[in-house]
Amino acid sequence: MSARNGGENGNGRKKPTAAVHLIAGGGAGLCEALACHPLDTIKVRMQLSRRNRAPGVKRKGFFIVGKEIVKRETPLGLYKGLGAVVTGIVPKMAIRFSSFEFYKSFAKVHPETGKISAKAVFISGLAAGATEAVAVVTPMEVIKIRLQAQHHSMADPLDIPKYRNAAHAAYTVVREEGFRTLYRGVSLTALRQSTNQAVNFTAYTYMKQYALTLQPNLSELPSYQHLLLGLVSGAMGPLSNAPIDTIKTRLQRSEARHGESALKRITFIAKDMFKHEGFRAFYQGITPRIMRVAPGQASPHSHAPRAVTFMVYEFIRGHIERFQVSGDNDNQYRE
């Protein structure tokens, strides 16, 4: 294949362009959001729950929380805040892929293997996660959480919520609390996203390299192994930063207070949670979060999206590449 077509990777497969990553990643991210958003809503409700402040009150598991949402707010209640996620999914994927590749470009390539070190992958993932958090994720999360926190029934037209949809929520938040509120918790969001991406990318890279050493006859892992490695590495991020995510959710749910700094508010939330709810409160919602994040994380380093997004990403990418090859062949015949 000619150089003008973007070159090939070590497997003879055409190296994906940024546009392919964007289209395939955006489409896969959209499908993943539609499939996994109910788990995110349950996670947010569990993180905002104050039940464990009352002595003797048993904590609710995610099955019970999900069942109560469906019962009181209809099944559509599980999809509250989806509009904010869908609006931000394409720019989020675009920034994630492009920034990761951009930061990787500064790393030194090993002269023999042609690969960059795991340390460089970790730092690139850290920087990419922080970049997407500041550019897209924080405003999206603020709006999403405000919508998810509303307990109104979507079957009752008289039960009018404060925020009707993502656009109305954004408008109301900016009007009542100021534009800066959309970036409430940006430091925690950046820390969560960066650790997520760094831990996921690094764990995936190490496990993939180890799996290949155990199977020297393979130049690339089969799909089911990508799937299993993706699930394991995708779960490591949430486990490493669950307290950050819980504090962030409570911070973004609360309205801005005049004269109170972000650090002071974060410190108050953390101390209050530990004092009244104990250490376990920082890990509320960890089960649905792992179930949601582990299948949904994507790895631009390996070009293999995790679990749920894997099939969609590869399906879209395969069709795009076949279309490109077909177009190149047609051009050759014309020449």
- Per cent of the chain over pLDDT 90 is 35
What confidence tens digit (pLDDT) does each residue in 55-70 have? 667 788 889 999 999 9
pLDDT band of residue 5 (cuts 50, 70, 90) is very low
Region 278-291: mean pLDDT is 91
C-beta neighbour count of 229 within 10 angstroms: 23
Bigger pLDDT: 334 vs 238: 238
C-beta neighbour count of 311 within 10 angstroms: 14
CA 67, chain centre distance (Å):
24
Question: What is the model's pLDDT at position 114?
Answer: 76
Question: What is the model's pLDDT at position 4?
Answer: 40
Question: What is the model's pLDDT at position 268?
Answer: 93
Where are the domains positioned within the chain?
A: 18-80, 199-313
Least reliable range by pLDDT among 34-43, 66-75, 252-261: 252-261
pLDDT band of residue 187 (cuts 50, 70, 90) is very high
DSSP 62-110: HHHHHHHHHHHH-GGGGGTTHHHHHHHHHHHHHHHHHHHHHHHTTSPPP
Helices (H), the chain: 18-48, 62-73, 82-104, 118-132, 138-148, 166-177, 186-214, 223-253, 262-277, 286-296, 307-334
Region 217-242: mean pLDDT is 83
Spatial neighbors of 86 by CB under 8 A, at least 6 apart, are 30, 33
Residue 17 has pLDDT above 80, yes or no: no
What confidence tens digit (pLDDT) does each residue in 292-305 have? 876 655 444 443 33
Region 22-50: mean pLDDT is 84
CB 302 within 8 A of CB 226: yes
Question: What is the model's pLDDT at position 193?
Answer: 82
| pLDDT, mean over the chain | 81
How much is the pTM? Answer: 0.76
Residue 254 has pLDDT above 60, yes or no: yes
What confidence tens digit (pLDDT) does each residue in 94-139 have? 787 778 878 988 888 888 777 788 788 778 878 888 898 898 999 9
Bigger pLDDT: 124 vs 51: 124
Residues in the chain: 335
CA 270, chain centre distance (Å):
23
What confidence tens digit (pLDDT) does each residue in 149-183 have? 999 998 888 899 999 999 999 999 999 999 999 99
Bigger pLDDT: 308 vs 133: 133
Region 212-227: mean pLDDT is 83
Bigger pLDDT: 180 vs 258: 180
